[in-house]
Amino acid sequence: MKKTLKILSIILAVVIGYFVVTASIYLPFVIHDAKTDYIYEYDFDYLMILGNQVVGKDTPSSLMIERIDRAVEYLSENKECVAVVCGGITTDEQIISEAELMKKLLIEKGIGADRIILEDKSTTTFENFEYARKVIENHSGKSIKKVLVAFLSSDYHIHRASVIAEHYGYNNIGKVSCTTQNGFVKTVIREYFVGYDLLIRLIKD
């Protein structure tokens, strides 16, 4: 019995140590990007607005509203920038895609419909950048490497999204962050575990 407990204690210590070490390596990057206010000397041609959960049938989550408010601020300051709203239908209950709902919210807040294009098929961050690339290239008539693209997301999500953007060939992608008003610690912890999926996907690709 004592021997079994000793073995279990060793296993538990190894597991805890593993999580402590990997978290201490990865999370500083997440927090650094979350807390950095990125400033650019040029304007972007496109601003990708990454979607977030639709609550129930057609209600925007608090995180989506935060992203839209930040997007309105950015687009109001950068009049020539075109918004690319990203996100499809991710639950059986939804009756509107994340992209369509965000477009509706942007228009309600004064952004012209002619400045908004949809990417309404994606269900993951990987797909956001994969599908938006095609949308932007079709709209601009140029390679993604020849247009200036920024993405907007919640602060905790900036690091992972920027890694994925580079994976899909976005050249010098801009980062526009919005502050998470509630639950920042919880979302950062979630990013740690989602980071494993990111690593596995990048290795496979």
pLDDT in tens, 157-204: 999 999 999 989 998 899 999 999 887 777 777 776 776 566 566 555
Q: Domain of 149: which CATH number?
A: 3.40.50.620
CB 28 within 8 A of CB 64: no
Q: Write out pLDDT tens, residues 77-132.
A: 999 999 999 999 999 999 999 999 999 999 999 999 999 999 999 999 999 999 99
Closest CA to 26 of 205, 198, 201, 204: 198
For residues 64 and 53, is the Cβ–Cβ distance under 8 A?
yes
Tens of pLDDT, residue by residue over 31-68, are 888 888 888 878 899 999 999 999 999 999 999 999 99
Is residue 56 helix, strand or coil? coil
Question: Is residue 152 assigned to a domain?
Answer: yes
Confidence (pTM): 0.85
User: Which range marks the domain in which residue 63 is found?
Assistant: 33-204
